[in-house]
Amino acid sequence: MRQSVRALGLLVLLAAVLTAGAPSVIRVHRGDTLSGLAARNGTTVKALQKANHLDGTMIYEGQLLRIPGQNVAPAATRTVPLVYVVQPGDNLTRLGRTLHHTVPWLKAKNHLRSSTIVIGQRLVYGERAVTATPRVSTSVRGRAAYHRALLRKRTMPSRASVRALIRASAKRHGVPVDLALALSYQESGFQQRVVSPVDAIGVMQVLPSTARSLGRMHGRTYDILAVRDNVEAGVTLIADLLHATGDMQHALAGYYQGLGSVSNVGFLPQTRQYVRNITLLRKHFR
């Protein structure tokens, strides 16, 4: 019991594999062309070809295409109070009806000892969520650039070899193979040289800090610049998340957004899109 509680606590801390900002996955419809899809989705034909490993411009109806985008961290979310400034003629009874709260609730929320309010007084009557994309420090960008440079010098395995590694790792860890493949395709398109601005690395887009935490949890080390270890780290993480949450959608949300954030603020809009993308992709890999 103590071990499972410890594992869940670690997962809450480490399960923020910062990924591709939930890049879109679209299905080709009759009449679509690669140039038209590129124009509609704010990208280029060359970028679409690279993201989807296309040799030419031929696409077919029903094909799934990954829309490339910059890998960025999910937006940070926090709550701020909703404030009403008391106007002439206001009283708590009237404000209660207007703001859809009871007088006792307004008094308790604003620590009022009586029902007396004055013009210009600020009354809190609720909260709202605001999001802001966190800035990436220059040191993190520097490490990401360094890792990109290292990976450019290395020979990379074929996509077929990467998929075989993912299948084998998924079977070892009891993760549905189609889920592991869809997750990797969503993250990087099975490409080890993909490194995000926040230094999420490779096929499974694993942060170095995540790899270190996973290593401590499982009593081993992960060289996430190496494809085999990168796959193993990512599949181990989603396996742990599935075990901890008991739910595929929450496990995927934890992989993208972090379990701590999911627990505090729920699924962010981009997290919901991320989960939908992978759900769609799973059908492609069955």
Structure tokens at 220: 């081993």
Least confident of 122-126, 158-162, 258-262: 258-262
Annotated catalytic residue 187:
yes
Determine contact, residues 77/265, Cβ cutoff 8 Å. Answer: yes
Query: What are the tens digits of pLDDT across the range 182-216?
Result: 999 989 889 999 888 888 999 999 999 889 888 88
- C-alpha dihedral over 245, 248, 250, 251, to 10 degrees? 70
Query: What are the tens digits of pLDDT across the range 229-274?
Result: 999 999 999 999 998 889 999 999 989 888 777 876 788 888 888 8
Distances, alpha carbon 229 to alpha carbons 156, 158, 236, in Å: 14, 16, 10
Determine contact, residues 83/99, Cβ cutoff 8 Å. Answer: no
Q: Does the pLDDT of residue 221 top 70, yes or no?
A: yes
Q: Give the pLDDT confidence score for residue 33 in this predicted structure.
A: 85
Cα angle 230, 9, 217; round to 5: 40
The DSSP result for 188-203, as a single string, is: HSS-TT-B-TT--BTT
% the chain with pLDDT above 70: 82
Structure tokens at 236: 């181990």
Determine contact, residues 27/205, Cβ cutoff 8 Å. Answer: no
Cβ within 8 Å of residue 186, ≥6 positions away: 19, 20, 23, 25, 66, 274, 277, 278, 281
Cα angle 144, 149, 150; round to 5: 100
CA 137, chain centre distance (Å): 19
Least confident of 31-45, 66-80, 154-168, 236-250: 66-80
Determine contact, residues 144/199, Cβ cutoff 8 Å. Answer: yes
Write down all domains in the chain, each with its CATH number in brackets: 2-23+135-284 (1.10.530.10), 24-68 (3.10.350.10), 76-132 (3.10.350.10)
Chain position carrying tokens 């605001």 = 130
- Catalytic choice (61, 127, 187, 232): 187
Confidence of residue 1 (pLDDT cuts 50, 70, 90): very low
Alpha helices per DSSP H over the chain: 2-14, 34-40, 45-52, 92-99, 103-109, 138-152, 159-173, 177-188, 208-218, 227-245, 248-257, 259-265, 269-284
> Of the candidates 38, 41, 32, which has an alpha carbon nearest to the alpha carbon of residue 60?
32
Alpha carbons 18 and 43: distance in angstroms, whole number? 22
